[in-house]
């Protein structure tokens, strides 16, 4: 799945690893947007299946999109794509 809107000029795609699986994304776009564009909405199970990790506010407020990138906890909506990032559940 690719939900990216056409007619947008983007930086050349690079590869990142999401839970060990390669995924293409564009440097600079947010990790949250890249995951959503790939149809990947569920970012992790969290502590309660009724409220899993996911993108929600996309502006850095809600803290629901927490992920681990290269070992560090980050908010996916505030984290720009960089080639080679290793992404896993928080």
Partner 1 sequence: MIFDVAVLGGGPAGMAAATEAAHSAARVVLLEESPVPGGQVYRAPPVGFAMKPDRDRQEGDALRAALAASGAEIRAGCRVWGLGGGPLVAEGEPDAPFSLSALGADGVPFTVEARALILCCGTHERIIPFPGWTMPGVIGLAAATILLKAQGVLPGQRVVVAGIGPLLYAVAAKLLAGGGSIAAVIDAATPGEWLRALPALGARPDLLARGVAWRTKLLAGRVPVLAGAQVTAAEGDKVLSAVRVGKRVFQADALCIGHGLVPATEASRTYRARHAHRPEDGGWVPVLDAAQRTSVPFLYAAGDGAGVRGAAAAPAAGRLAARTALQDLGFSLAYAPKEDAALARARRTGAAMARMMALRPAMIEAIPAETIICRCEGITRDEIEKAAAAGANTINQLKHFTRCGMGPCQGRMCGEAAGALLASARGVGLAELGFATGRLPLRPVPMASILGDFDYADIPVPAPAPI
Residues at the contact surface with partner 1, assessed by CB under 8 A: 1, 3-11, 26-30, 33, 36-37, 39, 41-43, 48, 50-52, 54-64, 66, 72-73, 78, 80
Nearer to partner 1, 17 or 29 (CB): 29
Return d(Cα 29, Cα 47) in angstroms, integer: 28
Nearer to partner 1, 12 or 21 (CB): 12
Q: How far is the CB of 72 from partner 1 (least distance, A)?
A: 7
Return d(Cα 76, Cα 70) in angstroms, integer: 12
Terminal Cα distance for the chain, rounded: 24
């Amino acid at each position: 799945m690719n939900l990216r809107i056409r007619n947008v000029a983007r930086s050349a795609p690079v590869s990142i690893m999401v839970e060990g699986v390669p995924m293409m994304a564009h440097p600079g776009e947010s990790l949250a947007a890249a995951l959503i564009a790939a149809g990947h909405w569920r970012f992790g199970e969290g502590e309660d299946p009724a409220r899993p990790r996911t993108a929600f506010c996309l502006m850095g407020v809600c803290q629901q999109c927490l992920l681990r990138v290269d070992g560090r906890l980050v908010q996916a909506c505030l984290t720009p794509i960089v080639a080679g990032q290793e992404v896993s559940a928080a």
